[in-house]
Amino acid sequence: MRRILITGMSGTGKSTLIGELAALGYKPVDTDDDWPHWVTIAPDPANTRSAAAEPNWLWHEDRVQRLLATEDAEVLFVSGCRTNQAQFYPQFEHVILLTAPPALIAERLATRTNNRYGKDANELASVMGFQQTVEPRLRASASLEVDTSAPVGQVLATVLAFLRLDREGTGIVDRPASRP
């Protein structure tokens, strides 16, 4: 079974892409809802900006591990962006990073109806900050980066072509090499 992680900042289109993949018949799991939980993280001594413990929204590791161990589909697409996702990278064939310009992310967060996160000014500021601090780390681990300012059909076509998957959701056209 192939496992693909779709990641990126809030408002980059992860849920939209996962929905498109589901419509084609691929197995999608959007980890925004029941998958994460709040955990208090001890301060990082190397981080001089933060000396106090901070709450963090992490994946339930046991649930994600069970999901990745399940062999019930040819291709599994998992979407999300959590601090602890890197520990699962070895189990993903590819990590696909979705990006978008800051103004487009702000507009999407303000107008989306499927998720309230990002509508609050503090949340929006956090997302914009994460774009500067977290996104570069995601980029360093990604097999593919896709700018989602393109139409969703084009984003979908780019992802399917990279993975050599067909648009009918029936499987592999030509298996690509695994991520280094």
* 63 contacts 78 by C-beta, under 8 angstroms: no
Q: Structural domain boundaries of the chain?
A: 2-163
- Give the rounded percent of residues in the chain with a pLDDT score beyond 70: 76
Q: What mean pLDDT comes out for the span 102-129?
A: 85
Residue 163 reports pLDDT greater than 50? yes
* 26 contacts 169 by C-beta, under 8 angstroms: yes
H/E segment holding residue 3? strand 2-8
Residue 100 reports pLDDT greater than 80? yes
* 85 contacts 138 by C-beta, under 8 angstroms: no
The listed CATH number (3.30.70.330, 3.30.1490.20, 3.40.50.300, 3.40.50.880) that belongs to domain 2-163: 3.40.50.300
Confidence of residue 115 (pLDDT cuts 50, 70, 90): confident
Write the pLDDT tens digit of every residue in 21-76. Answer: 999 999 999 887 675 545 656 656 665 555 555 546 667 688 888 888 988 889 99
Query: What pLDDT does residue 35 have?
Result: 59
Q: What mean pLDDT comes out for the span 65-94?
A: 90
DSSP-based three-state secondary structure for 124: helix
